[in-house]
A and B are shown apart, each in its own frame.
Chain A
Amino acid sequence: MLELSIALPAVINGVMAGAVYALVALGLTLIYGVLHIINFAHGNLLMIALYAVFFLLTLGGVDPYAALPVMIVGAFAAGYLLYRYVIGTLSHGKDQNVLLVTLGLAIVLENLALWLWTGDTRTIQVPYGYTMIDLDIVFLPVTKVIAFVGSLAICAALWALIALTDLGKAIRAVAKERQGARLVGINVEHIFAVSYGIGIACLGAAACFLLPTYYVSPTTGDAFVIVAFTIVVLGGMGSFIGALVGGLIIGVTESLGGLFLGESLGHIGISLIFILILLFRPTGLFGAAR
């Protein structure tokens, strides 16, 4: 039953999708690692980013991949402002409140989208949309390959930012010890907003890679929320490597799940992994024990 010719393409497709998931999850895990908040608006912010890429193409004629720099910068700015003036202000720094504030934000975003753009799913047509790369055992759409490579590249760039720059050092300091960071003169509020901004910037990039192979509708965010959370919890809250590995595992699980259980039931694999991890190893594969 497990014919290689059927399973292998599924695995490869899963890995490719997994890289993009990893990018999405990376933003979420960074936000958690630094701010210790669970960003319930993450899925819907991705949805907004997807719409942005969509309109950049349909209204501005900008190719999704060419839009990458604009999206990253724009998403960062949006995330920074969102945290600084909305989330940070409203939650007064309490964890329980942030949960609810980001939930409220998620609701607002999803329904604004529903109102502005209706529930129709939108897809885009790009000239290379049907180009395939022939690898004998499997045909890979070039858009998926670009998504795969691009996501990994952004992840690497992010790693470099965190590990090698001064800003990265400040972020790591705040993540480890908030008060201490404050005491050595780091503007913690600013770093919080920057981290949130970077998390959303990941979404901006992910949207550029995702739209050519996927679609967008106001409910797209919901689909990604559970996936993103599962990856983050599986990989370990706040763990970089965890998000990457988790993303790949989930991508493959989703692909194989869909193969064996069908589209509908296939998704239960992800919910089950989520529940099992939360129960038996809430720190995830690579997370630090809290």
Chain B
Amino acid sequence: MTLVLRSIEHGFGAQKVLDRVTFAVAPGEVHALLGMNGAGKSTLLHLAAGVYIPQGGTVEIDRRPVAFRSPKEAAAAGIVFLTQEVDRGLVPSLTVHENLTVGLLKDERQIGFSRRNNRLRAREMLRRFGLDWNVNRPVASLSIYEKQMLSIVRAVAGQAKYLLLDEPTASFDRKEAERFGQLIEELKRQGIGIVFVSHRMNEIFALSDRISVLRGGKLVLERKTGQTTLEEVVAAMTGGEASIRRRPYKEREGPEQFAVRGLPLDPDAPGIDLGLKPGEIVVGFGLLGSGKTRLARALFGASKPYRALIRGNERLIRGTRGAARQGLAFVPEERGKQGIWKRYDIRTHLALSFRGWIFKSREIAYARELIGAFAISPAIPSYKAGALSGGNQQKVAIAKWFARKPVLAIFDEPMKGIDVAAKETIFQMIESLADEGASILYLTSEPDDALRIADRIFVLSRRRIVAWMSSDKATAELLLSVAERGEQPSGGN
């Protein structure tokens, strides 16, 4: 009863994402899958779950090749994929017990429905995993942790034999992660095979039986958990860092042009202190769930009013409009949803900060200038932003701020889903913004990107800053291990 993905090859367009990867999970085994973003983890899970059909190689259960054409067929064979978006598949307006049994009832072709029996049944299912919940609560009121647990229990009750979990613990606190660990132990006892993607190393070493590491679409490491070390795994993930081009490090002079003290992100965590000098690029490094997006939105005034010191004057930033007026710029993470207007053309984006009457010729001239400077392609001012490629959309999303001459530009994970060629242009855009005197705050979970662009780096973990370092002292290993441990590295370790 082993699930095997044998020499899988897959790609999107010309880009090869997986190159002859073999990956197996046995019943009762936890197999951790690791790799940086873009290494191919997510694609591999999608292939195993029948979301994509592999272009090469086979999926086998018990040495018998199976060809899933849809997630439904994979689920029928006992393979359930739980994505990071735990809300998917749950009905928020229904109660816990209704959500738990909805699949079972469908299989049993029940027409009548007894609420009382259903509650009892749901309670029993949860109790088997040591969860004593009120099953009458609507799912909308559950925390992410509870939703994740509910999805897992439901999948197992529906006779899932293999669970594919994509970063299930990303936003869990310590206690929740502990209980999640107990659930995994219980699932192992029941003989369920688990594929587990996570960035938290301590968790991986505590829970998994085997570890595989992907890098650039290739399997670079596969070991029994007891036979490897944190250092070996991290080295396999990053693959050394000779290839990374770094920004020449230089100490910045002069006073800070943007500073905040004690900006609250979380009632339980101490506030964030930040100070940025003109032309300085500060990277905030943190894993998923560390509070990067929360920090970015808070600074741009999208959550609560706060006070900041801007060019020596104390300013109250009340909202996004106030933030933009005080010279802040923000390139949000969800490019398509938050950064651009898909139905409007490039010119409109670039000229958004213009005031008064619209002079088309002036705007087109300005747009052509920026399009040329940042190699936006196609170089047509009237081209709709929604028809551009991801990288070019991001260039537009950044370039729309250039006319403002920002004091502080905040970037939240700007390289998400962007190919290598566009990436370098975007780094240069950010640098040219800094050269014009803007301070840059660049938030990311990619150590390579952090090292490429940073003057200084701080590490964010559980919504607090746990370490500061200058870029010449930082390495990918150091960043990852500090972010995972959630504390300042102590001397000898």
**Is A bound to B?**
no
**Chain B residues near A (Cβ < 8 Å):** none
